[in-house]
Amino acid sequence: MINTTILIIFAIGVSVSSAWSLNPYDEYDEILTNSASFEFLRNFSEEEIYQEIEDLRDDEVKWNASGTSLLSIMRLNLFPIEKLTPYLDSDDHQQRQFIAHIIRRSNYSYHSDRLFEVLVESLRSDYINSDEPSVLFCAGGYFFLNAYMAFDDLLVNGIFAKKYLLEGLNSRCRQQKFFCAILLGENRIFDELDNTLDILCNNLKDDGRMSNGCHAFAALFSFGPRISEKLVTHHNRGDRQSKRAIEILWREFGTNPKGMNLENVVIGKTFGHTPAWSGDSLKYLINYNKHGHYRLHGSLNYYKNK
């Protein structure tokens, strides 16, 4: 993932290109309304397009991996997707990542098992030097943030990646494990529920990582009342913060497996390190539940694989 310090220094002065919008449903592209740009892209030879694909590899040439021209070419149907999909099996991690997200943003209806496997791979905390899938290109002024984009996509389409999200629960990458647990909750996938709840409830604790408790809480809320009894064990062994979070869940679910007084439990006192959660602002938190940008802003910056 992109170094947080670099992000903070440059993000203010650099715009994010619409070509790499974090929103997988954003189909707007100025190329479609710019005849000069359209002519430029239409004149790409097949050889030049293959060179664009080759440039996506993690090679010794800095700054040549862009993907934006190839993305526009694919959006305009100037190159058959059948010639692009084999690169999902590339031996180069960076190239696989670019290809997967180019396919998702140019042909959203295309589904394959391998495509969603690569999207779950995107959730890892990956560090690739020079041309990398989360580097800041100052000249072009855009981000390619593979974990952000994959998370946004899988927040809605996680059911298609179910097999790989479940495998991710056992990942050695802490970031990928946490994100997979969140996505299983958001998509209400109850397979491997005990493992998922272990990960989410551990993140409810006051562990010094900003925002991960809020993210875990929202995923647990999405599971609904069905998990109420299973939360008893986690309440028994939790810390003060996680206990209170679970009590809020029980209250909102309309369940009370331990027969406790839940009337005076408020979110503001539960996640006190986040000023936005002042008072009993459960609805405000749940409104953020479906916005992956906010969720990942906290998680990617503070939940590193250390």
Contact 143, 95 (CB under 8 A): no
Whether the predicted pLDDT of 29 surpasses 70: no
Q: Would you say residue 89 has pLDDT above 80? A: yes
CA–CA separation, 113 vs 284, rounded Å? 35
Q: 58 versus 38: which is more confidently predicted?
A: 58
**pLDDT (mean) for 62-68:** 73
Give the start-to-end residue ranges of the domains of the chain: 1-167, 169-306
The pLDDT value recorded for residue 301 is 33
Q: Which of 102-111, 145-154, 187-196 has the highest mean pLDDT?
A: 187-196
| Euclidean distance between CA atoms 188 and 209, whole angstroms | 25
pLDDT digits (tens, 9 = 90+) for 135-184: 333 333 345 678 878 888 998 899 999 999 999 999 999 889 999 999 99
Element (H, E) at 184: helix 174-186
pLDDT class of 250 with cuts at 50, 70, 90 = very high
* Res 263: pLDDT: 82
At 266 the pLDDT is 67
pLDDT, position 143: 52
- Report whether 147 contacts 170 (CB < 8 A): no
CA-based nearest residue to 249, from 201, 199, 212, 294:
201
Sort residue 172 into left (φ over 0), alpha (ψ -120 to 50) or beta.
Answer: alpha
Q: Is 44 left (phi over 0), alpha (psi -120 to 50) or beta?
A: beta
| Structure letter (DSSP) for residue 16 | P
Query: What token pair was written down for 200?
Result: 């989410």
Q: Rounded CA gap, 181 and 159, in Å?
A: 13
pLDDT band for position 33 (cuts 50, 70, 90): low
Q: What is the pLDDT of residue 126?
A: 74
From CA 221, how far away is CA 249, in angstroms rounded? 7
Greatest Cα pair distance in the chain: 71
* pLDDT single digits (tens) 253-294: 999 999 998 887 765 545 544 433 333 334 444 444 444 333
